[in-house]
Amino acid sequence: MNVSKNYLFLVFLFVVSLPLSGCNQENKKLQAENSDLRVKLYLLETELTKQPRNLDRKDAEEILNRYLSTPSVKRIKFMASGFELAKTNGVISKNSGKEWPEYPWILSEKGKMIFGSIVNGEIIESIIITQIEGNYVFRPEIAEKVVSIKGISDGPYRGTKVVQVITTYVLPSDVNEQEIAKYIYMAERKDAILRRYDDGWRVEEIKRY
């Protein structure tokens, strides 16, 4: 039985016990029980007010935006048509360097200019292109933000929620969104798992698709 049900049950006991308080022989006993009930009601009210409120979409968006605002290594996907266009337009080129020879494609000098400060041309890991689950991707460091919350459901563990969210990238000022949108997916669906703590909700894990 959760806190809310406990609270309602004790309120019910308190109310139904009142008519009996007039019986002399039970008066002292009932007074003691009523006093005990009042204490329990107070403690439950205090517990309820201390607990963080249920997670709604507005709260979820605020929490996730805080979490996603720190730039970290992300998997940016090329669209199938965008990858072919990137080859045609010289945005990507064959990796002829000695580093990472197992990866045949890399962002070209033109590609580095288009993606600007999203990538670091001095770090090979930032510009090599890998293939994951049929998608060509590269892994720069970039922040994200929430576009919309699609739904909230109970999580896999007690005290958790799954938030289905659509995100997009926070682009630096030197990057033309319309230009890079020719090549990559600008939005991504994710499932975020949030856990409730005594001081509020926190992001536990984000699953990317």
pLDDT at 48: 45
Amino acid at 7: Y
**DSSP percent split of the chain into helix, strand, coil, nearest 5:** 40, 30, 25
**pLDDT for position 20:** 47
Contact 208, 188 (CB under 8 A): yes
Closest C-alpha to 150, from 209, 204, 199: 209
Specify whether the CB–CB gap between 74 and 140 falls below 8 A.
yes
Hey, is 52 helix, strand or coil?
Answer: coil
Neighbours of 154 (CB within 10 A): 10
CA distance 206 to 209: 10
User: Which sequence spans correspond to the domains of the chain?
Assistant: 3-50, 57-208
Give the closest residue to 132 by CA, choosing from 187, 78, 73, 199: 78
Taking only the tens of pLDDT, the chain with its 209 residues reads: 455 555 555 555 555 555 544 555 566 666 666 666 665 565 555 454 445 568 999 999 999 999 999 988 788 999 999 999 999 999 999 988 777 888 899 999 999 999 999 998 778 878 999 988 889 999 888 999 999 999 999 999 999 999 999 999 999 999 999 999 999 999 999 999 999 998 899 999 999 87
User: Using only C-alpha atoms, what is the Rg of the chain?
Assistant: 28
What pLDDT, on a 0 to 100 scale, did the predictor assign at position 77? 94
